[in-house]
Structure 1
Amino acid sequence: MVNLARCFHDIWSQGASRLGFPVYEASEAEITQQAAQTWTLQARGTRVLDNALEHRINPACPATLDMCWQDVSCRELHHTLLTGDDGMVFLANGRHLRNCPSLRHHPDRKIRRPLHFMAQKMKEPCFYLAGRNYENHGHFLLHHLPRLMAAQNSFTEMKQPKILLGNRVKRWQERYLAAMGIQAENILRAGAGTTHVESLFYAPQIWTDTALADPEILHKLRCAFLTHSQFSHASAASQAPVLISRADAPDRKLLNEREIAAEVERQWGTCEVLELSKLDFATQLRKFATAPLILGALGQGFANLLVASGALCLILDTEEQWSESYFSRTFRDLALMHGNMAARLFAGRSIQKREHWSYPLPKFKQELATATALWKQHRSLAPSP
């Protein structure tokens, strides 16, 4: 039935797109008018981040970074229709909610259109936690979970809704939700075709101009994760530097990962190589919360920088120059936000999308030495706790 639903919806959506029938977008005024209730999840604000390390390694990079975020609301909407594996949202009148920043460049041809006669019924009140890329670790943790964290104080007023995920099942989604106190019996999944939800509490992803939410919201998420991991400051002194391995990744493996780890060992005395797929979530969090140095090739494992504190964080990336690579920039900002020193290190060559690659070892030796010296100087000048 799942494949049949997908097939019918794809035929309908592709046919409508080829015939020139547009996906009509709901205006902000229309969404507000349809809302039974509205809650503020995020109020606009700004923060300046200290980018001294990256500026030191490459003076062309700014010494400070301006972070900003906008007002975001959650609304109770009745008789919405969700479509596809991601859970695209339509109002009862068939207009698409395109006010999420993840949909800015999403083409109409990739949006499954609702089919009322095939709709599954969902009568429980639901909080929306689906949308584009919710099946990706980094996006789920940094773009989806913050709106749930921001809304939890209003759950009583929202009638204790179930958490509604999209149709694509990833086992790790439940572990993130468990870390926030959400039990498995309170998690529902939309169908692969059309799902009719009687009462949906909907908010777009709450990153806007900056690819991260309000730091206060992320701090609450960080505290929830640390509590879940049973983190203890007593273990921090003995923790080793960690290198996030991509040996278990399907693509973009760092071919000279062992050489990079050996250089860390030479300069720092030790290095623990972490294959995150072999560690439970609580252990991952404790490793990241206590490591003095965190580095590795760009990948979703850097989302765990949410719990790092006072560390030196180095993100190895490709590209020919110091471009504003989207996710390496996001992970850098996430690290800086919580009092770490962080920098992106670029290999100086572009690669194909899924190509394995190597980081130039002589370049890394110099960059690691520079970064380590600046981090030690910063720590010596920091006030005692």
Structure 2
Amino acid sequence: MVDSTTGQEDMMIEISLCMIVRNEENSLPRCLSTVSAIADEIIIVDTGSTDGTKSAAMAFGAVLYDFTWIDDFSAARNFAFSKATKEYILWLDADDYLKEEDQQRFIRLKSNMPEGIDSVNMQYNLGFDAAGNVTASLRRNRLVRRSCNFKWIGPVHEYLEVYGPSLSSDVCITHEKDKAYTDRNLQIYQKRAAAGEQFTPRDQYYFANELRDHGRFEEASGYYEQFLDGGRGWVEDNIQACLKLAECRERLGEQGAVFAALCRTLQYDQPRAEFCCRLGAWHLDKGQLQTAAYWYELAVKLPRNGESMAIRNEAYSTWLPYLQLALCYDRLGQHEKANQYNETALLFHPTHPSMLYNRNYFQNLLGDRYIRLQSPEAEAGPASP
């Protein structure tokens, strides 16, 4: 391609899209339609589809391969990567796609990739509110140089091991799951445990997550403790393990253990917004309103790190602490302050039923003293009352 402004050839990188799929005839067309102008090659590895997945892939010119499923996601993904022929490899799941603005960002990235970059991480948007605003996200290594021969690690909850020069891109990948969650991953872990496998710290953590997600809180607690006691986990996994251990202990009715698990996060880093909200809730449940308010106020003051690879739940630093501050100060008798906090919460989540109920409550309670905040864009970040 020649740049019309310079007359010079535009050195656009070439990309192989590599995917593993099974029974994805409904979601795959949406995914491929949003990357067809980006990928120069589409590699689809099918692990046992019985529907129209292969036909859907062929409609986009994909190169198809079969792979016998062996309860190992990394094996399948590494096989897919081995079939790529282009300079860079992009990976997606069938229920991922790129919104229009992200397609344009990706095309610009293709045309302007800095020299020497071996991996590119992108924001992965996982949760959304009713208005489509992102509520949960993380960053993942998404585009890698093929010649580096990076490998996927782990049979389940696999990760792509990368090193060398990297780039944080403004491209976002959107995830919208269209299938019900199953116990597939839990079964894989249980088979491995029954076979006597010694789990890595990462597997201990993710096995605990699977047990927790399926309501097996006592077993999950044991694996979280084992993971944390080993002292070899990634700091972000350590923090999440503490928070999830606290949740398990709460479900088991062990309130003292809840407090200990929450505070254990402070061994690994400065307070995070989620920790502050969870500790605030612990104090609120005990009627310790001033202490609860302290932690909720800290949650909204902490800086947000958009470059972190850890999962982020925006609620903990936006509407949730403001809503809880409204509750705390209302119970403390500081109704006007509570009114302002509730209005601030509504700037972030204008349709939340609890906050709309509170708005009506404060209007009736305060009369002429009621204040309604007019919203600039919520993303701009309203000022703290």
Q: Same fold (TM over 0.5)?
A: no
Higher-RCO chain (CA-CA 8 Å, sequence separation at least 6): 1
TM-score (norm 2): 0.31
